[in-house]
Homo-oligomer: A and B are copies of this chain.
Amino acid sequence: MPTAEDAELPLTAWTVLGVLSFPGERSGYDIKSWADRSLRFFYWSPALSQVYRELRRLEELGFATSTLAPQDELRNKRLYRITDAGRAALTRWAGRTPDSPPVMKHGVMLRVWLGHLLGPDELRAVLTDHIEWALGMARDAAALEASAHRQLLWPYPELALRWSWRFYESEAELARQLLSDVDELEAARGHSPGGSET
Contacts and interface: CB of A to CB of B under 8 A. Distances in A.
16 contacts: A18-B113, A22-B116, A39-B110, A42-B104, A43-B104, A43-B105, A90-B117, A94-B114, A94-B117, A97-B126, A101-B107, A101-B133, A102-B171, A159-B181, A163-B177, A170-B170
A20 to B, nearest CB: 11
Contact of A94 (B15, B118, B137, B159): B118
A164 B18 CA distance: 31
Contacts of A49: none
A91 B101 CA distance: 31
A113 B178 contact: no
A194 interface: no
Interface in A77-123: 87, 90-91, 94-95, 97-118, 122
Contacts of A87: 117
A156 B114 contact: yes
Contacts of A99: 107
Nearest to A92: B117
Given A11-B105, A98-B126, A107-B11, A115 B159 contact: yes
B133 A162 contact: no
B160 A112 contact: yes
A157 interface: yes
